[in-house]
Amino acid sequence: MHPLDPALLGIVEEMKESGGHWQPCTGCYDTEDGHPTQRYDYSPALQTDIGCGCHECGGLGAVWWHMTDEQVADFVTICEEVDTEHELKMRIVRLEASLRRFRRAYVNLMEIGRDRIISFGGSCDPVDVMEASDPELQLIDAALAATEGQV
């Protein structure tokens, strides 16, 4: 291809302005696991390797790629959705941690209460029995199990 071909004028500028680029045509540029299967020419004008040329690329060996405004907007939306999802996950992790801490403190209070009762000569169920029959603890365990937290 002649470097002064008028068809090539403005290509570099367009790449800069639109953020698009030329890439090897999939119709005539064979790759395996992301690597070209043979040695292809590099086009300094298009700034990409080029295939041998086929009907898909009009014989050029490369195709123009750029994101439309709509595609960019879609991409931004997807990123925001991922962020929201991540934020929700982090909130759940934080809630689970608080709940587990609260659960330990609650059981600890049971132990303290039991020790006092016994020290005053009273009788009291063992802590594991109280733990197993306590409706609040059952609720906490169910909530943690539902969010796949470890009790």
Q: Cβ 49 to Zn ion, closest distance in Å?
A: 12
DSSP H or E stretch at residue 50: strand 48-50
The residue among 23 and 100 lying less far from Zn ion, judged by its C-beta, is 23
Least Å distance between CB 75 and Zn ion? 26
Q: Residue 26 or 77: which CB sits closer to Zn ion? A: 26
Query: How wide is the angle at C-alpha 51 spanned by C-alphas 48 and 57, nearest 5°?
Result: 95
- Minimum CB–partner distance for residue 147 and Zn ion (Å): 51
- Tell me how far, at minimum, the Cβ of 51 lies from Zn ion, in Å: 5
Task: State which residue, 48 or 51, has the beta carbon closest to Zn ion.
Answer: 51
Q: What is the rounded distance in angstroms from the CA atom of residue 64 to the CA atom of residue 69?
A: 16
* Nearest distance from C-beta of residue 61 to Zn ion, angstroms: 6
- List of residues contacting Zn ion (CB under 5 A): 25, 27-28, 51, 54, 56-57
Distance of CA 87 to the CA centre of its chain: 12
The residue to which tokens 């004008």 are assigned = 45
For 50, counting Cβ atoms within 10 Å of its Cβ (0-12 exposed, 13-18 middle, 19+ buried), the class is buried
Nearer to Zn ion, 62 or 140 (CB): 62
Dihedral sign for Cα atoms in the order 53, 58, 60, 63: negative
Closest CA to 144 of 103, 83, 115: 103
Choose between 51 and 110: whose C-beta lies nearer to Zn ion.
Answer: 51
